[in-house]
Chains A and B, each alone.
Chain A
Amino acid sequence: QQQVRQSSQSLTVWEGETAILNCSYENSAFDYFPWYQQFPGEGPALLIAIRSVSDKKEDGRFTIFFNKREKNLSLHIKDSQPGDSATYFCAGTGANTGKLTFGHGTILRVHP
């Protein structure tokens, strides 16, 4: 059972475009949704996160849009840069357990 699903295995955009990465989840108890960024050979690093009481979270070029009713969320990366090329994991957790359930990840390639 895939509790957190990322719709694209990979995504390619040109530099300057907005990259949109989509994610959906099944567990209604999830109330915290971080996105992690992972470069080859490194561990995942927290990029941005949202709580289910909000429908939008913005941090610089990164924005999460959250739809609780539809149980989906998306990460928008504005003005994509080649340095944004990485794997992005959507994750969910609930009830302060700290136990994150990850999606399979989306490999983003930003072409200059």
Chain B
Amino acid sequence: GPKVLQIPSHQIIDMGQMVTLNCDPVSNHLYFYWYKQILGQQMEFLVNFYNGKVMEKSKLFKDQFSVERPDGSYFTLKIQPTALEDSAVYFCASSSTDTLYFGAGTRLSVL
């Protein structure tokens, strides 16, 4: 099926540093999402993005978070500065209809 690629698969950084998580969505998809998953538990919605704009964000999407997709390149999630509680697996997803296709995730470890 369609593939969403996430780069890197694992990122280790020190608390307070900036991190950018990259997502290469399915090529003809127009809707993009970030979800956060802690310790194999439920996936929690962070934000969705369409036509260059954030459509909706959750309470988990703190002020330190930002998303963008400049000129059809990677869809990115930037966290600046990072905090210990940001440690989790972050999943990117894209869709053109109701079906969301997820990447394999980026495991972020904040030390």
Interface residues of A, Cβ cutoff 8 Å to B:
32, 34, 36, 41-46, 49, 87, 89, 93, 96-105
Cβ A98 vs Cβ B42 within 8 A = no
Complex Cα gap A104–B39 (Å)? 11
A49, A89, A97, A99: most-surrounded residue (chain B CB, <10 A) = A99
Q: Interface residues of B: mostly helix, strand, loop or mixed?
A: strand
Interface residues of B, Cβ cutoff 8 Å to A:
1, 4, 31, 33, 35, 40-45, 48, 55-56, 91, 93, 95, 98-105
Q: Which 6 pairs of residues, A with B, have the shortest CB-CB distance?
A: A43-B102, A104-B42, A102-B43, A102-B42, A43-B104, A44-B102
Note all chain B residues with C-beta closer than 8 A to A34. 98-100
Complex Cα gap A64–B35 (Å)? 25
Known: A43-B102, A44-B91. 5 other contacts (CB 8 A): A43-B104, A49-B99, A89-B42, A96-B98, A97-B56
Cβ A101 vs Cβ B45 within 8 A = yes
Given A41-B104, A98-B48, A99-B56; A46-B99 close (CB under 8 Å): yes
Distance (Å) between the CB of A86 and the closest chain B CB?
Answer: 11
Note all chain A residues with C-beta closer than 8 A to B93. 43
Partner of A100, one of B1, B40, B100: B100
Cβ B98 vs Cβ A49 within 8 A = yes
Distance (Å) between the CB of B32 and the closest chain A CB?
Answer: 9
Complex Cα gap A102–B98 (Å)? 14
